[in-house]
Structure 1
Amino acid sequence: MALNIGFIGLGSLGEGLCNSLVTAGFPVTVTDLNPAAAQKLLAAGAVWADDVAGVCREADVVITVLPSPAISRKVVEGPGGVFETLRAGGVWIEMSTTDFEDLQRLQAAATQRGIAVLECPVTGGVHLANSGQITVLVGGEEAVFQRVEPLLAAMGGQIIYMGKLGNASVVKVVTNMLAFIHLVAAGEAMMVPAKYGVDPDATYRAIRASSGNSFVHETESQLILSG
């Protein structure tokens, strides 16, 4: 039996992740502060809800992809939030980049209500979210992970189980840290040849074809070239 999914947060990342679920045939109910963000999903077969309670009413699994820990807290534990309206036995999947200690606190609150929790931050960039090939890092009880693995597989390419809740958040922060370091280095590397009059596009292509290449250079240095 297909899991009924509630999806909250349809920004540049969430919309792509949710679209993969809808395209794969999962029954999905969505909501966002910006209804226009849902138009593509609704055309593909998703159902709109006006609020969080409407998303949770028939859901087996609720997924949140939100821009900050503060907003996530409000959505899940505020009045009419996920914890109040998702039935006991349901699963909350947090796919936002969130706070390690706060997530553990929220897990304890969810457990009191009979709700299971997984953290599933993603890494790889919005373009991979749109193509269904983004990497998903999973933290939480392995039995819960196995229960929802098919829907995670619909959203991502590599699905990596990291162990207990919190482990995935720690590794996600490390991947961000490395990406920032690589981005600073790539920016400096692009600047030096430019000072000598080398065409930046030629520099980009040369680095991409060299031992100095990286995922960050291939994706982010293009933003430098585009201004």
Structure 2
Amino acid sequence: MPWWRRKLPEAASSRVSKTKSPFSETVRVKPDKTGVVTDGVKHSMNPFCEIAVEEAVRLKEKKLVSEVIAVSCGPQQCQETIRTALAMGADRGLHVEVPAKEYESLSPFQVSKILAALAKKEGVNLLLLGKQAIDDDCNQTGQMTAAFLDWPQGTFASQVTLDGDWLKVEREVDGGLETVRLKLPAVVTADLRLNEPRYATLPNIMLCLELLLLLLLLLKLNSGVQLITCVLENPKSVFRVKPDCRNLFSSVHFVLFHMV
């Protein structure tokens, strides 16, 4: 997720990113059904968080933002995600280290408290996050972070325009598009159509390998939420093989008849 800090007459943007398994990876549930298997699985940045990073970098390129800070909470693998954000154009990286065992049960409530505390510590005036992760689809972190900070929020953003101390956000809603005007500081969650992220080239990633990341220790936060079981259900096929065309046409006729 990204965020920015206001430094008159400029701003600093900070974005928060989540590390997850790529959508192309096959998901496997642990035998005890307490979560998914992550050993040996390649991780990458959550696509919506990648869009948030791109938007923060674009604001900096337009001279509307003075600094972009990349933040990620999790085990050591999260540093790869932060380095990708640095290769895209972020200025600094903050890694809130969470042991792998605790990371599996890390809830949006806990992440929101961490981000709110970091936003206050860094003195930023804008948080840019992906609207949701594509693994758990919670869509909660941005909203709860705004609540903890008591900041206005613009969720599902498809367009962001910064004008002085005001932010105009075009939101994608069920009925179409909605435009809201927010007074900074504010929280914005990125939707799919906000932008198309640039490709983080290998040379840029290699240049970021030696950059120092600020390592922060996770505070013990109790969310009161515990994962009981995790089940992966294979979708049942609704298709059946018919022996000949006559049986096929009779089935189609039966379906059409009942639809009418």
Q: TM (normalized to structure 1)? A: 0.39
Which structure has the larger Rg? 2
Larger proportion of helix? 1
Larger proportion of strand? 2
Flag the structure with more relative contact order, 1 or 2, with Cα contacts below 8 A and sequence separation at least 6: 2
